[in-house]
Structure 1
Amino acid sequence: MIRLKNHGAKVVGEVVQFGDMYRLGYVRGAEGLLIGLAEQLNSETATDVLESS
């Protein structure tokens, strides 16, 4: 997120972690566009979790 701030983007709200699978956050770009970002934290996908339960 720091690299995005250097290019004029601003973090909207807070970055949150969804279990041990994803980190989620929103940034507003210099042109005002709102962008949602998701980072996968491990190799297991949400589909993998749903199929194993």
Structure 2
Amino acid sequence: MKKWQQYLKQSDTEVLDDASHYVQEDRPDRVVTAIRSVLEKTNIAPTKLTHDQAE
């Protein structure tokens, strides 16, 4: 990970010590949080719809 962080100095990384190769299966909560954070920072997060708006 440290080597990738050196190459991608402006990227955000999060190390999940309690997850293995299939991070999405092992820690879906942390993966979703990280993805949402990136989307919010880049201002491309989907808007939240209320139940009435979705119909």
Fold agreement, TM-score > 0.5: no
Greater per-residue strand proportion: 1
Structure label with greater radius of gyration: 2
TM-score normalised per structure 1: 0.23
Structure with the greater relative contact order (CA < 8 A, sep ≥ 6): 1 or 2? 1
Greater per-residue helix proportion: 2
